[in-house]
Chains A and B, each alone.
Chain A
Protein backbone atom coordinates (compact mmCIF):
# COMPACT_ATOMS: atom_id res chain seq x y z
CA UNK A 1 0.00 0.00 0.00
CA UNK A 2 2.79 2.41 0.78
CA UNK A 3 6.21 2.30 -0.73
CA UNK A 4 7.83 3.34 2.52
CA UNK A 5 7.06 2.86 6.17
CA UNK A 6 4.85 0.16 7.60
CA UNK A 7 2.74 -1.85 5.21
CA UNK A 8 -1.00 -1.48 5.55
CA UNK A 9 -2.17 -4.72 7.07
CA UNK A 10 -5.57 -6.31 7.40
CA UNK A 11 -7.39 -4.93 10.39
CA UNK A 12 -9.07 -6.91 13.12
CA UNK A 13 -10.92 -3.83 14.40
CA UNK A 14 -14.66 -3.51 14.04
CA UNK A 15 -16.01 -0.51 12.16
CA UNK A 16 -17.14 1.08 15.41
CA UNK A 17 -13.69 0.57 16.96
CA UNK A 18 -12.23 2.46 14.00
CA UNK A 19 -14.75 5.27 14.55
CA UNK A 20 -13.71 5.42 18.20
CA UNK A 21 -10.02 5.53 17.27
CA UNK A 22 -10.69 8.30 14.74
CA UNK A 23 -12.31 10.28 17.58
CA UNK A 24 -9.88 9.20 20.33
CA UNK A 25 -9.44 11.97 22.88
CA UNK A 26 -5.64 11.67 22.79
CA UNK A 27 -5.34 11.34 19.03
CA UNK A 28 -2.92 13.83 17.46
CA UNK A 29 -4.71 16.88 16.10
CA UNK A 30 -3.74 19.18 13.22
CA UNK A 31 -1.37 21.37 15.26
CA UNK A 32 0.43 18.27 16.61
CA UNK A 33 1.22 17.30 13.02
CA UNK A 34 1.84 20.79 11.63
CA UNK A 35 4.38 21.66 14.37
CA UNK A 36 6.27 18.45 13.61
CA UNK A 37 6.10 18.91 9.83
CA UNK A 38 7.12 22.58 9.99
CA UNK A 39 8.67 23.54 13.35
CA UNK A 40 8.82 27.20 12.26
CA UNK A 41 5.04 27.31 11.66
CA UNK A 42 3.48 30.77 12.06
CA UNK A 43 -0.26 30.83 12.63
CA UNK A 44 -2.29 33.40 10.70
CA UNK A 45 -5.76 34.49 11.71
CA UNK A 46 -8.97 35.85 10.35
CA UNK A 47 -11.22 35.89 7.30
CA UNK A 48 -10.66 39.68 6.77
CA UNK A 49 -14.42 40.18 6.80
CA UNK A 50 -15.67 39.73 10.30
CA UNK A 51 -14.00 37.07 12.42
CA UNK A 52 -11.44 34.38 13.06
CA UNK A 53 -12.68 30.80 13.32
CA UNK A 54 -10.61 28.89 15.91
CA UNK A 55 -11.99 25.56 14.61
CA UNK A 56 -9.60 25.95 11.66
CA UNK A 57 -5.91 26.64 12.16
CA UNK A 58 -4.11 28.26 9.26
CA UNK A 59 -0.64 29.55 8.65
CA UNK A 60 2.70 29.22 6.94
CA UNK A 61 5.70 27.05 7.67
CA UNK A 62 8.81 25.73 5.97
CA UNK A 63 8.21 22.20 4.78
CA UNK A 64 10.90 20.29 2.89
CA UNK A 65 12.68 23.58 2.23
CA UNK A 66 9.64 25.35 0.84
CA UNK A 67 7.18 27.83 2.37
CA UNK A 68 3.88 25.99 2.60
CA UNK A 69 0.39 27.01 3.66
CA UNK A 70 -1.04 24.68 6.30
CA UNK A 71 -4.75 24.46 7.03
CA UNK A 72 -6.35 22.10 9.50
CA UNK A 73 -9.43 21.51 11.57
CA UNK A 74 -8.40 21.81 15.20
CA UNK A 75 -10.17 20.02 18.01
CA UNK A 76 -9.42 20.99 21.59
CA UNK A 77 -7.60 18.85 24.10
CA UNK A 78 -8.99 20.22 27.38
CA UNK A 79 -12.68 20.90 27.85
CA UNK A 80 -11.97 24.63 27.81
CA UNK A 81 -10.05 24.35 24.56
CA UNK A 82 -12.69 22.08 23.03
CA UNK A 83 -15.32 24.72 23.66
CA UNK A 84 -13.03 27.44 22.27
CA UNK A 85 -12.29 25.33 19.17
CA UNK A 86 -15.95 24.33 18.85
CA UNK A 87 -14.85 20.66 18.62
CA UNK A 88 -13.34 21.38 15.21
CA UNK A 89 -16.69 22.35 13.71
CA UNK A 90 -16.25 25.34 11.42
CA UNK A 91 -18.50 28.34 11.00
CA UNK A 92 -18.78 30.25 7.68
CA UNK A 93 -15.87 32.45 8.76
CA UNK A 94 -13.61 29.39 8.78
CA UNK A 95 -14.28 28.59 5.13
CA UNK A 96 -13.67 32.23 4.26
CA UNK A 97 -10.40 32.15 6.19
CA UNK A 98 -9.39 29.02 4.29
CA UNK A 99 -10.11 30.67 0.94
CA UNK A 100 -8.25 33.80 1.98
CA UNK A 101 -5.19 31.67 2.72
CA UNK A 102 -5.68 29.70 -0.50
CA UNK A 103 -5.48 32.93 -2.50
CA UNK A 104 -2.49 33.92 -0.37
CA UNK A 105 -0.81 30.64 -1.37
CA UNK A 106 -1.70 31.24 -5.02
CA UNK A 107 -0.15 34.71 -4.95
CA UNK A 108 3.18 33.37 -3.72
CA UNK A 109 3.12 29.96 -5.38
CA UNK A 110 3.11 28.11 -2.05
CA UNK A 111 1.71 24.57 -1.97
CA UNK A 112 -1.18 23.89 0.41
CA UNK A 113 -1.53 21.08 2.94
CA UNK A 114 -5.04 20.61 4.33
CA UNK A 115 -5.59 18.36 7.35
CA UNK A 116 -9.17 17.21 7.85
CA UNK A 117 -10.51 16.38 11.30
CA UNK A 118 -14.08 17.46 11.92
CA UNK A 119 -17.41 15.90 12.86
CA UNK A 120 -18.90 18.34 10.32
CA UNK A 121 -19.66 22.01 9.89
CA UNK A 122 -21.26 23.56 12.96
CA UNK A 123 -24.96 22.53 13.05
CA UNK A 124 -26.12 25.62 14.92
CA UNK A 125 -28.32 28.66 14.41
CA UNK A 126 -25.44 31.15 14.16
CA UNK A 127 -23.80 29.25 11.32
CA UNK A 128 -27.12 29.16 9.47
CA UNK A 129 -27.72 32.88 10.02
CA UNK A 130 -24.35 33.72 8.53
CA UNK A 131 -24.72 31.47 5.49
CA UNK A 132 -22.86 28.22 6.18
CA UNK A 133 -24.37 26.48 3.13
CA UNK A 134 -23.15 29.13 0.70
CA UNK A 135 -19.79 29.39 2.49
CA UNK A 136 -19.13 25.66 1.99
CA UNK A 137 -20.47 25.79 -1.56
CA UNK A 138 -18.21 28.68 -2.48
CA UNK A 139 -15.19 27.04 -0.87
CA UNK A 140 -15.73 23.81 -2.80
CA UNK A 141 -16.06 25.72 -6.07
CA UNK A 142 -13.08 28.00 -5.41
CA UNK A 143 -10.66 25.17 -4.58
CA UNK A 144 -10.90 24.16 -8.24
CA UNK A 145 -9.44 27.56 -9.20
CA UNK A 146 -6.45 27.72 -6.84
CA UNK A 147 -3.45 27.22 -9.16
CA UNK A 148 -1.01 25.67 -6.64
CA UNK A 149 -0.63 22.05 -5.51
CA UNK A 150 -3.03 20.98 -2.76
CA UNK A 151 -2.66 17.76 -0.80
CA UNK A 152 -5.32 16.89 1.78
CA UNK A 153 -5.16 14.26 4.48
CA UNK A 154 -7.97 13.00 6.67
CA UNK A 155 -6.27 12.59 10.05
CA UNK A 156 -9.31 11.79 12.19
CA UNK A 157 -12.93 12.49 11.33
CA UNK A 158 -13.97 13.52 7.85
CA UNK A 159 -17.56 14.48 8.47
CA UNK A 160 -19.87 15.49 5.67
CA UNK A 161 -19.80 18.78 3.75
CA UNK A 162 -17.86 20.38 6.58
CA UNK A 163 -14.94 18.10 5.72
CA UNK A 164 -15.36 18.25 1.95
CA UNK A 165 -15.26 22.05 2.16
CA UNK A 166 -11.59 21.56 3.10
CA UNK A 167 -11.06 18.43 1.02
CA UNK A 168 -10.92 19.46 -2.64
CA UNK A 169 -7.29 18.70 -3.47
CA UNK A 170 -5.01 17.20 -6.09
CA UNK A 171 -4.41 14.20 -3.83
CA UNK A 172 -6.43 13.08 -0.83
CA UNK A 173 -4.96 10.55 1.57
CA UNK A 174 -6.20 9.11 4.86
CA UNK A 175 -4.59 7.92 8.04
CA UNK A 176 -5.42 4.28 8.63
CA UNK A 177 -7.81 4.81 11.55
CA UNK A 178 -9.56 7.86 10.19
CA UNK A 179 -13.05 7.96 8.70
CA UNK A 180 -14.67 9.94 5.89
CA UNK A 181 -18.38 9.93 5.49
CA UNK A 182 -21.41 11.57 3.89
CA UNK A 183 -22.69 12.13 7.43
CA UNK A 184 -21.53 11.21 10.90
CA UNK A 185 -22.89 7.81 12.01
CA UNK A 186 -25.12 9.65 14.50
CA UNK A 187 -26.50 12.01 11.84
CA UNK A 188 -27.03 9.17 9.37
CA UNK A 189 -28.90 7.17 12.03
CA UNK A 190 -30.98 10.23 12.80
CA UNK A 191 -31.81 10.71 9.13
CA UNK A 192 -32.41 7.08 8.20
CA UNK A 193 -34.03 5.78 11.43
CA UNK A 194 -34.88 9.08 13.12
CA UNK A 195 -32.92 7.56 16.01
CA UNK A 196 -29.30 8.60 16.53
CA UNK A 197 -28.66 5.78 19.01
CA UNK A 198 -28.40 3.35 16.05
CA UNK A 199 -25.02 4.85 15.19
CA UNK A 200 -23.14 1.53 15.15
CA UNK A 201 -25.43 0.06 12.49
CA UNK A 202 -25.22 3.29 10.53
CA UNK A 203 -21.41 3.29 10.69
CA UNK A 204 -21.29 -0.27 9.37
CA UNK A 205 -23.64 0.60 6.55
CA UNK A 206 -21.89 3.83 5.50
CA UNK A 207 -18.56 2.25 4.46
CA UNK A 208 -16.57 5.07 6.00
CA UNK A 209 -13.23 3.48 6.91
CA UNK A 210 -10.00 4.35 5.13
CA UNK A 211 -9.94 0.91 3.53
CA UNK A 212 -13.49 1.38 2.19
CA UNK A 213 -12.59 4.75 0.67
CA UNK A 214 -9.44 3.40 -0.93
CA UNK A 215 -11.45 0.57 -2.48
CA UNK A 216 -14.01 3.06 -3.84
CA UNK A 217 -11.26 5.14 -5.44
CA UNK A 218 -12.09 8.22 -3.37
CA UNK A 219 -8.64 8.51 -1.78
CA UNK A 220 -5.20 7.84 -3.25
CA UNK A 221 -3.56 6.21 -0.26
CA UNK A 222 -4.06 4.95 3.25
CA UNK A 223 -1.18 5.74 5.58
CA UNK A 224 -0.54 3.02 8.18
CA UNK A 225 -0.54 4.27 11.76
CA UNK A 226 1.83 3.26 14.57
CA UNK A 227 0.89 0.07 16.42
CA UNK A 228 -2.31 0.68 18.40
CA UNK A 229 -3.12 3.93 16.63
CA UNK A 230 -1.67 7.38 16.01
CA UNK A 231 -2.17 8.42 19.65
CA UNK A 232 0.40 5.83 20.78
CA UNK A 233 3.28 7.70 19.13
CA UNK A 234 2.77 11.25 17.83
CA UNK A 235 6.29 11.47 16.37
CA UNK A 236 6.00 8.23 14.43
CA UNK A 237 2.52 9.16 13.17
CA UNK A 238 3.82 12.55 12.02
CA UNK A 239 6.79 10.90 10.27
CA UNK A 240 4.65 8.55 8.17
CA UNK A 241 2.16 11.32 7.39
CA UNK A 242 4.98 13.68 6.40
CA UNK A 243 6.53 11.07 4.13
CA UNK A 244 3.22 10.32 2.39
CA UNK A 245 2.23 13.98 2.00
CA UNK A 246 5.57 14.87 0.48
CA UNK A 247 5.58 11.88 -1.85
CA UNK A 248 2.22 13.07 -3.20
CA UNK A 249 3.13 16.76 -3.28
CA UNK A 250 6.48 16.35 -5.06
CA UNK A 251 5.26 15.47 -8.57
CA UNK A 252 2.61 18.20 -8.33
CA UNK A 253 5.21 20.89 -7.68
CA UNK A 254 6.60 20.40 -11.17
CA UNK A 255 3.24 20.64 -12.94
CA UNK A 256 2.13 23.75 -14.86
CA UNK A 257 -0.96 25.36 -13.27
CA UNK A 258 -3.30 24.56 -16.16
CA UNK A 259 -2.39 20.87 -16.03
CA UNK A 260 -2.78 20.87 -12.27
CA UNK A 261 -6.25 22.43 -12.44
CA UNK A 262 -7.39 20.17 -15.26
CA UNK A 263 -6.33 17.07 -13.31
CA UNK A 264 -8.00 18.37 -10.15
CA UNK A 265 -11.20 18.87 -12.15
CA UNK A 266 -11.04 15.38 -13.56
CA UNK A 267 -10.18 13.84 -10.19
CA UNK A 268 -13.55 14.91 -8.80
CA UNK A 269 -15.55 14.97 -12.01
CA UNK A 270 -14.94 11.25 -12.50
CA UNK A 271 -14.45 10.27 -8.87
CA UNK A 272 -17.21 7.68 -9.13
CA UNK A 273 -15.94 6.16 -12.36
CA UNK A 274 -14.69 3.07 -10.57
CA UNK A 275 -18.36 2.40 -10.00
CA UNK A 276 -19.93 1.54 -13.31
CA UNK A 277 -23.55 2.13 -12.49
CA UNK A 278 -24.46 1.54 -16.13
CA UNK A 279 -22.40 0.23 -19.05
CA UNK A 280 -22.29 3.69 -20.63
CA UNK A 281 -21.83 5.46 -17.31
CA UNK A 282 -18.58 7.22 -16.62
CA UNK A 283 -16.16 9.72 -18.02
CA UNK A 284 -17.47 9.77 -21.59
CA UNK A 285 -19.68 12.65 -22.62
CA UNK A 286 -21.68 12.35 -25.80
Chain B
Protein backbone atom coordinates (compact mmCIF):
# COMPACT_ATOMS: atom_id res chain seq x y z
CA UNK B 1 0.00 0.00 0.00
CA UNK B 2 1.26 3.45 -0.90
CA UNK B 3 2.00 5.71 2.03
CA UNK B 4 0.01 8.61 0.56
CA UNK B 5 -3.09 6.42 0.34
CA UNK B 6 -2.64 5.24 3.92
CA UNK B 7 -2.31 8.81 5.16
CA UNK B 8 -5.42 9.83 3.29
CA UNK B 9 -7.38 6.89 4.67
CA UNK B 10 -6.16 7.54 8.17
CA UNK B 11 -7.46 11.09 8.30
CA UNK B 12 -10.79 11.08 10.06
CA UNK B 13 -12.04 14.60 9.31
CA UNK B 14 -14.39 13.31 6.65
CA UNK B 15 -16.06 10.74 8.85
CA UNK B 16 -19.45 12.07 9.89
CA UNK B 17 -20.44 10.62 13.24
CA UNK B 18 -24.09 10.13 14.17
CA UNK B 19 -25.60 12.60 16.62
CA UNK B 20 -25.42 11.42 20.24
CA UNK B 21 -27.33 12.42 23.36
CA UNK B 22 -25.38 15.24 25.02
CA UNK B 23 -25.84 17.20 28.23
CA UNK B 24 -26.21 20.98 27.95
CA UNK B 25 -22.86 21.57 29.63
CA UNK B 26 -19.64 19.58 29.58
CA UNK B 27 -19.19 17.56 32.79
CA UNK B 28 -15.45 18.15 32.39
CA UNK B 29 -15.27 21.94 32.12
CA UNK B 30 -18.84 23.19 32.48
CA UNK B 31 -18.80 25.02 29.15
CA UNK B 32 -22.06 24.87 27.19
CA UNK B 33 -21.76 22.42 24.34
CA UNK B 34 -22.22 22.92 20.62
CA UNK B 35 -23.21 19.49 19.23
CA UNK B 36 -22.00 20.21 15.69
CA UNK B 37 -18.53 21.35 16.81
CA UNK B 38 -18.23 18.37 19.12
CA UNK B 39 -19.31 15.99 16.39
CA UNK B 40 -16.47 17.25 14.19
CA UNK B 41 -14.06 16.51 17.04
CA UNK B 42 -15.20 12.92 17.58
CA UNK B 43 -17.14 14.08 20.65
CA UNK B 44 -14.06 15.13 22.55
CA UNK B 45 -14.43 18.47 24.34
CA UNK B 46 -11.61 21.02 24.18
CA UNK B 47 -11.03 20.31 27.88
CA UNK B 48 -10.31 16.67 27.03
CA UNK B 49 -13.60 15.17 28.21
CA UNK B 50 -14.50 12.16 26.05
CA UNK B 51 -18.24 11.60 25.56
CA UNK B 52 -19.41 8.00 25.23
CA UNK B 53 -19.90 6.71 21.70
CA UNK B 54 -22.20 3.91 20.56
CA UNK B 55 -21.10 1.02 18.37
CA UNK B 56 -22.43 2.80 15.26
CA UNK B 57 -20.15 5.78 15.91
CA UNK B 58 -17.13 3.57 16.60
CA UNK B 59 -17.64 1.71 13.34
CA UNK B 60 -17.78 5.02 11.43
CA UNK B 61 -14.79 6.35 13.33
CA UNK B 62 -12.54 3.33 12.81
CA UNK B 63 -13.60 1.55 9.63
CA UNK B 64 -12.49 2.94 6.27
CA UNK B 65 -15.50 4.40 4.51
CA UNK B 66 -17.60 1.76 2.77
CA UNK B 67 -15.54 -1.14 4.12
CA UNK B 68 -17.77 -2.25 7.02
CA UNK B 69 -19.33 -5.68 6.58
CA UNK B 70 -21.43 -6.55 9.62
CA UNK B 71 -21.71 -10.20 10.68
CA UNK B 72 -24.40 -12.05 12.60
CA UNK B 73 -26.42 -8.87 12.99
CA UNK B 74 -29.61 -10.92 12.70
CA UNK B 75 -28.91 -12.99 15.81
CA UNK B 76 -31.01 -11.39 18.52
CA UNK B 77 -31.33 -11.83 22.27
CA UNK B 78 -34.51 -12.90 23.87
CA UNK B 79 -35.81 -13.60 27.31
CA UNK B 80 -34.65 -17.05 28.38
CA UNK B 81 -35.19 -16.89 32.12
CA UNK B 82 -38.65 -15.33 32.08
CA UNK B 83 -37.18 -12.24 33.74
CA UNK B 84 -40.04 -10.03 34.91
CA UNK B 85 -38.83 -7.50 37.46
CA UNK B 86 -38.48 -4.57 37.66
CA UNK B 87 -39.18 -4.59 33.92
CA UNK B 88 -39.72 -7.62 31.66
CA UNK B 89 -36.43 -8.32 29.88
CA UNK B 90 -38.20 -9.00 26.58
CA UNK B 91 -39.82 -5.53 26.70
CA UNK B 92 -36.42 -3.96 27.44
CA UNK B 93 -34.69 -5.55 24.47
CA UNK B 94 -37.66 -5.02 22.13
CA UNK B 95 -37.69 -1.34 22.98
CA UNK B 96 -33.94 -1.02 22.38
CA UNK B 97 -34.33 -2.77 19.03
CA UNK B 98 -37.10 -0.31 18.14
CA UNK B 99 -34.67 2.50 18.91
CA UNK B 100 -32.38 1.01 16.27
CA UNK B 101 -29.85 -0.60 18.60
CA UNK B 102 -28.59 -4.06 17.79
CA UNK B 103 -27.27 -5.71 20.94
CA UNK B 104 -24.44 -4.75 23.25
CA UNK B 105 -21.79 -5.92 20.79
CA UNK B 106 -21.66 -5.49 17.03
CA UNK B 107 -18.99 -7.20 15.02
CA UNK B 108 -17.80 -7.55 11.46
CA UNK B 109 -14.93 -7.05 9.09
CA UNK B 110 -13.63 -3.82 7.64
CA UNK B 111 -10.40 -2.18 6.66
CA UNK B 112 -8.53 0.36 8.75
CA UNK B 113 -5.97 2.39 6.83
CA UNK B 114 -6.48 -0.13 4.03
CA UNK B 115 -5.66 -3.12 6.24
CA UNK B 116 -8.40 -5.80 6.60
CA UNK B 117 -9.33 -6.45 10.23
CA UNK B 118 -12.04 -7.84 12.46
CA UNK B 119 -13.73 -5.16 14.54
CA UNK B 120 -16.03 -5.60 17.54
CA UNK B 121 -17.58 -2.66 19.34
CA UNK B 122 -19.60 -2.66 22.53
CA UNK B 123 -22.60 -0.34 22.82
CA UNK B 124 -23.24 0.95 26.33
CA UNK B 125 -26.74 2.11 25.36
CA UNK B 126 -27.88 -1.52 25.01
CA UNK B 127 -28.54 -2.71 28.61
CA UNK B 128 -25.33 -1.03 29.74
CA UNK B 129 -23.21 -2.79 27.13
CA UNK B 130 -23.66 -5.99 29.07
CA UNK B 131 -22.18 -9.29 27.98
CA UNK B 132 -25.09 -11.48 26.86
CA UNK B 133 -25.29 -14.79 25.03
CA UNK B 134 -25.59 -13.01 21.70
CA UNK B 135 -22.78 -10.56 22.52
CA UNK B 136 -20.57 -13.48 23.59
CA UNK B 137 -21.46 -15.45 20.49
CA UNK B 138 -20.62 -12.53 18.18
CA UNK B 139 -17.30 -11.99 19.97
CA UNK B 140 -16.29 -15.66 20.02
CA UNK B 141 -17.26 -16.29 16.39
CA UNK B 142 -15.35 -13.20 15.25
CA UNK B 143 -12.24 -14.21 17.17
CA UNK B 144 -12.40 -17.75 15.83
CA UNK B 145 -12.65 -16.41 12.29
CA UNK B 146 -9.89 -13.86 12.87
CA UNK B 147 -7.66 -16.69 14.15
CA UNK B 148 -8.53 -18.88 11.16
CA UNK B 149 -8.09 -16.16 8.53
CA UNK B 150 -5.11 -14.39 10.12
CA UNK B 151 -6.82 -11.00 10.36
CA UNK B 152 -5.97 -8.68 13.29
CA UNK B 153 -8.70 -8.33 15.90
CA UNK B 154 -9.70 -4.91 17.19
CA UNK B 155 -12.01 -4.53 20.18
CA UNK B 156 -13.68 -1.39 21.53
CA UNK B 157 -15.26 -1.98 24.92
CA UNK B 158 -17.84 -0.06 26.97
CA UNK B 159 -19.65 -2.36 29.33
CA UNK B 160 -21.05 -2.74 32.81
CA UNK B 161 -20.21 -6.46 32.86
CA UNK B 162 -22.33 -9.59 32.47
CA UNK B 163 -26.08 -9.16 31.84
CA UNK B 164 -28.08 -10.00 34.98
CA UNK B 165 -31.20 -10.82 32.98
CA UNK B 166 -29.48 -13.78 31.30
CA UNK B 167 -28.35 -15.20 34.63
CA UNK B 168 -25.53 -17.71 34.87
CA UNK B 169 -25.53 -18.12 31.07
CA UNK B 170 -24.30 -14.51 30.85
CA UNK B 171 -21.55 -15.36 33.34
CA UNK B 172 -20.55 -18.33 31.18
CA UNK B 173 -19.92 -15.95 28.26
CA UNK B 174 -16.73 -14.88 30.04
CA UNK B 175 -15.39 -18.42 29.68
CA UNK B 176 -16.75 -18.82 26.17
CA UNK B 177 -15.10 -15.60 25.01
CA UNK B 178 -11.81 -16.22 26.83
CA UNK B 179 -11.55 -19.67 25.32
CA UNK B 180 -11.62 -17.90 21.95
CA UNK B 181 -9.16 -15.22 23.14
CA UNK B 182 -6.70 -17.98 23.99
CA UNK B 183 -6.99 -19.42 20.50
CA UNK B 184 -6.65 -15.97 18.98
CA UNK B 185 -3.36 -15.53 20.83
CA UNK B 186 -2.16 -19.02 19.88
CA UNK B 187 -2.84 -18.23 16.23
CA UNK B 188 -0.36 -15.35 16.30
CA UNK B 189 -2.95 -12.80 15.19
CA UNK B 190 -2.54 -9.34 16.78
CA UNK B 191 -5.28 -8.33 19.20
CA UNK B 192 -5.70 -4.66 20.11
CA UNK B 193 -8.16 -3.53 22.75
CA UNK B 194 -9.52 -0.02 23.17
CA UNK B 195 -11.06 0.44 26.60
CA UNK B 196 -13.59 3.25 26.81
CA UNK B 197 -15.75 4.61 29.59
CA UNK B 198 -16.87 2.49 31.38
CA UNK B 199 -15.41 -1.03 31.18
CA UNK B 200 -16.26 -3.13 34.24
CA UNK B 201 -17.18 -6.51 35.65
CA UNK B 202 -17.32 -9.52 33.37
CA UNK B 203 -16.09 -7.59 30.35
CA UNK B 204 -13.00 -6.24 32.12
CA UNK B 205 -12.50 -9.70 33.66
CA UNK B 206 -12.67 -11.47 30.31
CA UNK B 207 -11.43 -10.17 26.97
CA UNK B 208 -10.96 -6.41 27.39
CA UNK B 209 -7.68 -6.50 29.32
CA UNK B 210 -6.18 -9.55 27.57
CA UNK B 211 -5.09 -7.92 24.33
CA UNK B 212 -1.54 -7.71 23.02
CA UNK B 213 -1.88 -3.97 23.40
CA UNK B 214 -4.42 -2.37 25.76
CA UNK B 215 -5.29 1.22 24.89
CA UNK B 216 -7.52 3.30 27.16
CA UNK B 217 -9.34 6.55 26.47
CA UNK B 218 -8.47 9.45 28.79
CA UNK B 219 -10.61 9.48 31.92
CA UNK B 220 -12.30 6.14 31.13
CA UNK B 221 -13.35 4.24 34.26
CA UNK B 222 -11.95 0.70 34.11
CA UNK B 223 -12.15 -1.94 36.83
CA UNK B 224 -13.86 -5.05 38.11
CA UNK B 225 -16.17 -3.85 40.89
CA UNK B 226 -17.84 -0.48 40.40
CA UNK B 227 -17.17 2.31 42.91
CA UNK B 228 -20.73 2.25 44.27
CA UNK B 229 -20.48 -1.44 45.18
CA UNK B 230 -16.96 -1.01 46.63
CA UNK B 231 -18.22 1.74 48.92
CA UNK B 232 -21.26 -0.31 49.89
CA UNK B 233 -19.18 -3.42 50.63
CA UNK B 234 -16.13 -1.93 52.32
CA UNK B 235 -17.12 1.63 53.39
CA UNK B 236 -13.91 2.72 51.71
CA UNK B 237 -13.33 6.31 50.63
CA UNK B 238 -12.11 6.08 47.07
CA UNK B 239 -9.70 8.79 45.96
CA UNK B 240 -10.49 10.93 42.91
CA UNK B 241 -9.34 9.19 39.75
CA UNK B 242 -9.66 5.71 41.30
CA UNK B 243 -10.05 3.17 38.44
CA UNK B 244 -9.43 5.85 35.79
CA UNK B 245 -7.49 5.05 32.63
CA UNK B 246 -4.55 6.95 34.10
CA UNK B 247 -4.82 4.90 37.33
CA UNK B 248 -4.75 1.68 35.29
CA UNK B 249 -1.77 2.97 33.28
CA UNK B 250 0.15 3.64 36.51
CA UNK B 251 -0.70 0.13 37.78
CA UNK B 252 0.42 -1.65 34.65
CA UNK B 253 -2.94 -2.74 33.27
CA UNK B 254 -2.97 -0.69 30.08
CA UNK B 255 -0.16 0.17 27.70
CA UNK B 256 -1.22 3.72 26.93
CA UNK B 257 -3.89 6.36 27.28
CA UNK B 258 -4.73 7.85 23.90
CA UNK B 259 -6.95 10.77 22.90
CA UNK B 260 -9.77 9.65 20.62
CA UNK B 261 -8.77 11.96 17.77
CA UNK B 262 -5.33 10.26 17.66
CA UNK B 263 -6.67 6.73 17.90
CA UNK B 264 -7.21 5.92 14.24
CA UNK B 265 -3.76 7.10 13.29
CA UNK B 266 -2.22 5.02 16.09
CA UNK B 267 -4.15 1.89 15.14
CA UNK B 268 -3.24 2.25 11.48
CA UNK B 269 0.40 2.53 12.51
CA UNK B 270 0.16 -0.52 14.80
CA UNK B 271 -1.45 -2.52 12.00
CA UNK B 272 1.56 -1.67 9.85
CA UNK B 273 3.94 -2.80 12.60
CA UNK B 274 2.15 -6.09 13.38
CA UNK B 275 1.70 -7.70 9.99
Contact = CB atoms under 8 A, between A and B. Distances in A.
Interface of A: 121, 123-125, 127-134, 136-138, 140-142, 144-145, 160-161, 164-165, 167-168, 180-183, 187-188, 190-193, 196, 201, 205-208, 212-213, 216, 218, 264-265, 268-269, 271-272, 275, 277-278, 280-281, 285
In this complex, the member of B78, B145, B202 whose beta carbon has the largest number of chain A beta carbons within 10 angstroms is B202
A281 B75 contact: yes
B169 A272 contact: yes
B207 interface: yes
B194 to A, nearest CB: 16
Contact of B80 (A123, A183, A275): A275
A15 B181 CA distance: 35
A218 B172 contact: yes
Contacts of A212: 168
Contacts of B134: 277
Nearest to A191: B164
B229 interface: yes
A205 to B, nearest CB: 6
A180 to B, nearest CB: 6
Interface of B, secondary structure class, is helix
A183 B202 CA distance: 10
Contact of A207 (B81, B84, B176, B183): B81
24 contacts: A123-B224, A123-B225, A124-B233, A125-B236, A130-B251, A133-B208, A134-B210, A137-B174, A137-B207, A140-B175, A144-B182, A180-B168, A182-B164, A182-B171, A191-B164, A193-B86, A213-B168, A216-B167, A218-B168, A268-B172, A277-B75, A277-B77, A278-B75, A281-B75
Interface size grouping (class) on chain B: 35 or more
A144 B179 contact: yes
Contact of A268 (B145, B163, B179, B202): B179
Given A281-B75, A281-B137, 13 more contacts: A124-B236, A136-B205, A167-B175, A181-B171, A182-B202, A188-B164, A192-B85, A207-B81, A207-B167, A208-B168, A271-B169, A278-B74, A278-B76
